Amino acid sequence: MYMLSLRAFVAGVVVGAVVSGGVAVPASARAATPILVAIRAAHHPGLDRLVFEFKGALPAERSARYVSALVADGSGLPVPVVGSARLLVRFGGAKGHGDDGNLSYGPARRTYALPGIIQVVNTGDFEAVLSFGVGVAKKTPFRLYTLKNPSRVVIELTTPYRTVNVKSYFMNSANFNVGRKPYTKGVVRPVATQEPAAGALQRLFAGPTQGERVGLHFVDSKATGFSKVTIKNKVARVYLTGGCSSGGSTFTIADEIVPTLKQFSSVKWVKIYNPAGKTQRPTGSSDSIPTCLEP
């Protein structure tokens, strides 16, 4: 469980702040474009810290602000990220690739098992403008600052709420591939105490962390998320969004959702609805899946 007094952040809170690197200089006098070489995130008392490390100088411009949705630079297409709120982080005068065109900082999409920060995903890297979306559990104050030697841009997101550890269940690929049960494995996630079931499902859709991807896999069955989850009279009802298809497989997202929700004493039965709001057995004391999740 984590608590933090917001007073400590009053002087440093930045919501939608832009920091400029100073007076512009002629192109001929500029140093090489800073290259992003690492992204790190970790929890500290009362906050999650996200660090972008650059080779060379700091980016000339750094900004972060909450947005209602993320879109890819250039194409304008939506960029999905798991979270109840989204931060858009932009670096002007920086890039995230080498001369060979390969990413210089690792995976373009990554998941974290932290109270606040859920996912970080690249949304653009074009003409020396580099941007990322950060999916967070709650919209809370944050601050942005820089460090040198090495060059780093740091975002500290406050986590002024209590959390409880729950489990999200993913496919255990090693077991499934040889027909050895259990086919799922639960991994621990800290979620807000107010809605632990919704929090566990949210972390399920975020997928495994980089370290967990050796052996664990999120089977989404073409669903992109869920619009709501309700629990009443021991029955949990989950409403999927996006698509819905088993692809002919005997293992679907239902096999991950059911144990994720049945870990709670308030849930005995789980009914999963397709994006159109349909399930095969909407009433009665039984589990239920939509037809689209049948093999």
91 with 174, same domain: the answer is: no
Range of the domain at 86: 35-158
Query: Which of 134, 158, 182 corresponds to the end of one domain?
Result: 158
Number of domains in the chain: 2
Q: What is the pLDDT of residue 30?
A: 52
Does 18 map to a domain?
Answer: no
Query: Which of 158, 181, 212 corresponds to the end of one domain?
Result: 158
132 with 182, same domain: the answer is: no
169 with 288, same domain: the answer is: yes
Q: Pick from 133, 153, 157: which is nearest to 145 by CA?
A: 153
Q: What is the pLDDT of residue 238?
A: 98
Query: Which of 158, 182, 201 corresponds to the end of one domain?
Result: 158
The residues, ordered by sequence, that sit 6+ positions from 220 with a Cβ below 8 Å of its Cβ are 205, 253
93 with 211, same domain: the answer is: no
135 with 176, same domain: the answer is: no
Q: Pick from 106, 104, 87, 114: which is nearest to 206 by CA?
A: 114
181 with 92, same domain: the answer is: no
**In tens digits, what is the pLDDT along the chain, a chain of 295 residues?**
333 344 344 334 444 444 444 444 444 445 699 999 999 999 999 999 999 999 999 999 999 999 999 999 988 999 999 999 999 999 999 999 999 999 999 999 999 999 999 999 999 999 999 999 999 999 999 999 999 999 999 999 999 999 999 999 999 999 999 999 999 999 999 999 999 999 999 999 999 999 999 999 999 999 999 999 999 999 999 999 999 999 999 999 999 999 999 999 999 999 999 999 999 999 999 999 999 999 9
Q: What is the pLDDT of residue 28?
A: 40
Tokens linked to 244: 């819905």
Amino acid at position 6, single letter: L
In the sheet where 223-232 sits, what is the strand order? 223-232, 235-242, 269-273
The residues, ordered by sequence, that sit 6+ positions from 169 with a Cβ below 8 Å of its Cβ are 184, 185, 186, 187, 204, 256, 259, 260
Sort 4 into a burial class: Cβ within 10 Å, 0-12 / 13-18 / 19+.
middle
The CATH number of the domain holding residue 61 is: 2.60.40.3500
Contact 169, 260 (CB under 8 A): yes
Q: What is the pLDDT of residue 198?
A: 97
